[in-house]
Every structure is written in structure tokens, then in C-alpha cells.
Amino acid sequence: MKTYNNFLKEDLDHVIAHTEGLWEELRGKKIFITGGTGFFGCWLLESFAWANDKLDLHSSAFVLSRNPEAFEKKAPHLYNNNAINFLKGNIKDFIFPENSFSYLIHCSVYQQNTDEKTKNVSMTNEMLNGTMRILDFCVKSKVEKMLLVSTGAVYGKAPAHLKNIPEYFSDSFDPTISQSAYHHVRRMMETISVIYAEENDFEAKIVRCFSFIGPYLPLNSRFAISDFIVDALSNNSIVVKGDGKAVRSYLYMSDLVIWLWTLLFRGKSCRPYNIGSELPISIREVAGEFANKFVPPLPVSILKKNCHGVAPDYYVPDTSRARSELDLQQRISLSTAIRKTMQWHRDINSREER
């Protein structure tokens, strides 16, 4: 069944335009995806389905999901696509399908409620043991190339003088501090992926992702940009819960999936690559970008003021490795990304109201 999300047509054509030469490698083959129903996963499935049809690849994707039924309500056009199959299960104990797979993308994340205290033991168990099981599955299924979707959180807190974090920046967290557990678990996921790849003769590509915006971004997350979308959709004041000095950079999701597919097929094995925008912007300035999408502009409210002497939280990648080796770059501006994301959520709201 060929069903599409027509709202994303322009974005998906953008993806194909910058990845078309890569897809031949996937022709007639199977790919296994974990985390395929989340923010990143939805974009991977959208772009896969679009390329599979437009380029007549005759490929198929298998998606591991805790709750495929819920995804049917979220994205019925993907759930009902004949080239996309769903396997119900958890990464820690899923039953291996009998099929052989040429490729695997592991982008599953630990899930907990936004108002819930972090459970480090549960998080460590699921992410490490789950990744070990995924890697066992890579060996059994004779995977040729796997992509581990990691995070810039592996770097810890960079020193103030380091404006863009490179891949060679070393660990800055004390391993005995429990608050840094997620950081260390993510580093271990990368390490065991490299060990498995080297000992079992398959390629492990590693990407460290920073901050992103686009359709499918969940609005119940812990990120400021999700709160700004909710505020803007309600025509309310854009509320910055902190002092707004923290610095981020945002890559639009159609650019992200160009990077992900390129790195899966062409990236060097066991070599990490940063993914994200190199254009820094403070949270206060991001709030202003949202406010200025309205006429007249919405007011911006800064809740926490006068934070003198507190160094801003700076989280911006150095992507020179991806740019120089694979010619990857940001093509969609943040202003355009905000406009597209807002249009998406307005469209979702209008469809729900009908």
C-alpha cells in the first residue's frame, strides 16, 4: 500500500536530492531499525518509504517497537506501508526474527515520564543490555553495516574556551557521580559497538547527535523548544523557564536524515561523527525567533533573571569531520525550520479538531 504524508513532500524530496546516489546499496535488501517510532525513527521511516517508492528499490524495513498499535494511530501511512514491518518487543529481550538483514540502525532511547525521577539502574540495564542484544542480533543476522545513533551527551560539560565540541574531546565527568550515569552509559554503548564490530567483521558507524527541530518533535519532552512550540500554538507569551543564556544549535530533521543515511552507507567504521548545526543561538534568542513568527510578535517572558557569574551552558558541535569527509552540511535555516515545524503542528491540530 502506497500511502504518504503529503505535508512532508517538500522535505522528503530534499532528502532524496541529497542522498539519491546512496540508495542503490539498499536495493532489494532489508534493514532493521530500533527506535523507529520515535522522533528520529519517524523521519527514518518517512525517508525510507519515500526513497523505496521513488527509486523503486524493492527494499523492506523491520521496526522493533514496544507498542506498534499506538504507532498506527500516530502515523497510519507508515504503519500500513507494505515495505515496513513491525516487530513487537523490547531491545532487552526481543525474539530474533529469522530473516537476514544487511543493515541495522539502533536509535532506541530509554523512555520515562518527564515528571519522573531518573532511574539510573533501570536506564543502565535497558540501554547496555539492550545494546548487547542488538549487537548479538547483528552477528546472527549477518548485518554488514550498523549505525549507532549516539549523542553529544558523551562529551560531558565542555570547558568555556571550547566553543564547538570536536569528536576528540575527552571525558570530563567523574565516573563516581551518579548524575553522570547517562553520559557513561552512552560512552559504553559506543565502546561495545566497536568491540563487536571488530571481533565479528561488520561495520559499526557512530553518530553523536546534538539538538534538532522538525515535525514529529514530541511536545511533552524536557526541551525548551518543545515548550516554545506549545506556547506559540496557544498564542501565549513565549516563556523561557531559565535565564535564557544557555546556547544551543538546531538542525532541521530533513537535514538530519540526510546525514544519518549518508553516514550509514559511507561513514568510516568505528569512527564517531558529530551531527548538528554549528550555528550557535541562545535559548533567549530562540524564544525570540518563535515570537517573531507572529504579527504582532508574541511577548517573551524570562522567568529567571540576574544570573550574574553563571557561565552559560554551551552545547554546539564541531562537524568538520562530517563536512570534510562526506560533504555534509546544514541546508535548512533555523527560521525556516521553526516555520515548517509550526505549520506541521497546526496541521495536526486542525485534523484532530475535524
**Which residues, at least 6 apart from 244, have a Cβ–Cβ distance to it below 8 Å?**
282, 283, 284, 285, 287, 302
> What is the distance between the alpha carbons of residues 205 and 286, in angstroms, rounded to a whole number?
32
- CA count, 13 A, side-chain hemisphere, 230: 13
3-state class of 207 per DSSP?
strand
Ordered structural domains, the chain, with CATH: 215-250+277-354 (3.90.25.10)
Residue 89's pLDDT is 95
Q: Residue 306, Cβ neighbours under 10 Å: how many?
A: 7
Q: At what angle do helices 130-140 and 181-200 cross, to 10 degrees?
A: 20
Helix locations, the chain, DSSP H: 9-17, 39-54, 68-74, 76-79, 120-124, 130-140, 181-200, 224-233, 253-266, 283-291, 320-326, 334-353
**What does the pLDDT profile of the chain (354 residues) look like in tens digits?**
455 567 899 999 999 999 989 999 999 999 999 999 999 999 999 999 999 999 999 999 999 999 999 999 999 999 999 999 999 999 999 999 998 999 999 999 877 665 667 788 988 999 999 999 999 999 999 999 999 999 999 998 877 778 899 999 976 677 778 888 888 999 999 999 999 999 999 999 999 999 999 999 999 878 899 999 999 999 989 999 989 999 999 999 999 999 999 999 999 999 999 999 999 999 999 999 999 999 899 999 998 765 554 455 889 999 999 999 999 999 999 999 999 999 999 988 776 655
Residue 354's pLDDT is 54
> What is the distance between the alpha carbons of residues 245 and 145, in angstroms, rounded to a whole number?
40
Q: What is the pLDDT of residues 324-350, one digit of tens each?
A: 999 999 999 999 999 999 999 998 877
Tell me the three cell numbers of residue 91.
531491545
Q: What is the pLDDT of residues 196-219, one digit of tens each?
A: 999 999 999 999 999 999 999 999
Q: What is the pLDDT of residues 235-246, one digit of tens each?
A: 989 999 989 999
Tell me the three cell numbers of residue 134.
542488538
| DSSP run (H or E) holding 301 | strand 300-302
Q: What is the torsion angle, in degrees rounded to the nearest 10, for the CA atoms of residue 208, residue 97, residue 23 and residue 45? A: -60
